[in-house]
Amino acid sequence: MTITEIAQAAGVSIATVSRYLNNGPVKKETREKLESVILKLNYVPESMVHQIVNTPLKAIAVLVHSLSNNYAMEFAEVLNYCYTGRETMLYIGCIPDPKIEYRYLMDLVSRGIKGTILLDSSEYKTQSEIYNELGKYMPIVLVHSFPADFPFNTITVNQEIGMKNAMRYLINLGHRNILFVRGTKGFSFDLKEKIWKEELEKAGTPPAPEQIRTISDSDKKTGMETTYQAVSEYLEAGNRPSAIFTCNDIMAMGTLKALREKGLQVPRNISLISHDNTALAACNDITSVDMKIRSVAIAAMDLLDYAIGGNDTAARHISITPELVIRSSVLPLSETHMEKNSPFPDKYRIP
């Protein structure tokens, strides 16, 4: 594509096109016409082509499953800050549908991206062959929760330890009637539910199936509203847990809204504990399992540096241990009570 062809398509002179491309004086209506033609013809200035071809690209990509998920946002923010300090460009892509992940990765390879960090792809088990194949052309680091020995570089957060710490903390404070709020699909949700059930069984109080609430869009901003609706319905049915565990901080926000609308205080009436420990948990003073977002992001960068260096082709696997951050949202069962005007039946009251 040449400026002559652009001039012909726009019905203007070559000189006018040249002035436009060099930010010279061009009438507003002519400028708008040229912008429309250039966009339609996918024109790239020759000077830019030379710059792209002759300048080694120093860029990294990070792909996440949601940009309204606080964990993903904070993770990407740490990477962006660190790579900016290295004068390295960071491309951030959102892949809500795993079916288009391959196209994203192929596009990154074609652009000469130096490496890619994938954050908790929901289909990493079925996509592992794709990651392994594309890893021959572009180093890939997968951050995930599934403890598998993949043939590429991975970082795992040991959510089993984090969940056990959270449940044992609640149980040691006397809580047994614990509502479990989870998302619809994912290894980490299944793992947390398994431990929730096992720990309550060990405590001699096996949970009932109705003590689980499954939330759609739990990893997105809309998950706050769907959680609010689900927890509200649970409370309106006369259920009275002494504590609620949510599998992420987004669901904790929806739970808080439901409790407040029912006139229930955290932790005076019901204790609340969440997972991830993003800014949402911190600013609402919620006890939460810290997923070590900054540590995970820095580890991903280090692992990608190692892979880009190419000194050792063997894959490396790093495991990071979360910790429970205790705040004011949980009280011992003995200190939890209902108000006299509680809408709940007497059987749910604590003496």
pLDDT in tens, 146-162: 666 677 888 999 999 99
Strands (E), 42-175: 59-64, 89-94, 115-119, 140-144, 153-157
pLDDT computed for residue 51 by the predictor: 46
DSSP letter assigned to residue 227: H
Highest mean pLDDT among 149-163, 200-214, 333-347: 200-214
Q: How many CB atoms lie within 10 A of CB 58?
A: 13
Which helix (H) or strand (E) segment holds residue 231: the answer is helix 223-236
3-class DSSP assignment, residue 269: coil
pLDDT in tens, 8-57: 888 899 899 888 877 788 888 888 888 788 767 766 565 544 444 444 56
pLDDT computed for residue 49 by the predictor: 47
Is the pLDDT at 254 greater than 80? The verdict is: yes
Average confidence (pLDDT) over 236-263: 96
Query: Which of 52-61, 130-139, 197-206, 230-239 shows the lowest per-residue confidence on average (mean pLDDT)?
Result: 52-61
Task: Give residue for tokens 């929730």.
Answer: 196
Task: Give residue for tokens 């680091």.
Answer: 141
pLDDT computed for residue 344 by the predictor: 45
Which helix (H) or strand (E) segment holds residue 211: the answer is none
Give the span between the Cα atoms of 165 and 64, in whole angstroms.
27
Query: Domains in the chain, start-ordered, CATH in brackets?
Result: 3-53 (1.10.260.40), 56-158+292-323 (3.40.50.2300), 159-290+326-348 (3.40.50.2300)
Name which residue leads in pLDDT, 337 or 248.
Answer: 248
pLDDT in tens, 115-127: 999 987 655 555 6
Give the span between the Cα atoms of 78 and 80, in whole angstroms.
5
183 pairs with which residues across the strands? 215
Contact 146, 182 (CB under 8 A): no
Q: How many CB atoms lie within 10 A of CB 286?
A: 26
Give the span between the Cα atoms of 298 and 270, in whole angstroms.
36
Strands (E), 44-174: 59-64, 89-94, 115-119, 140-144, 153-157
Q: How many CB atoms lie within 10 A of CB 109?
A: 14
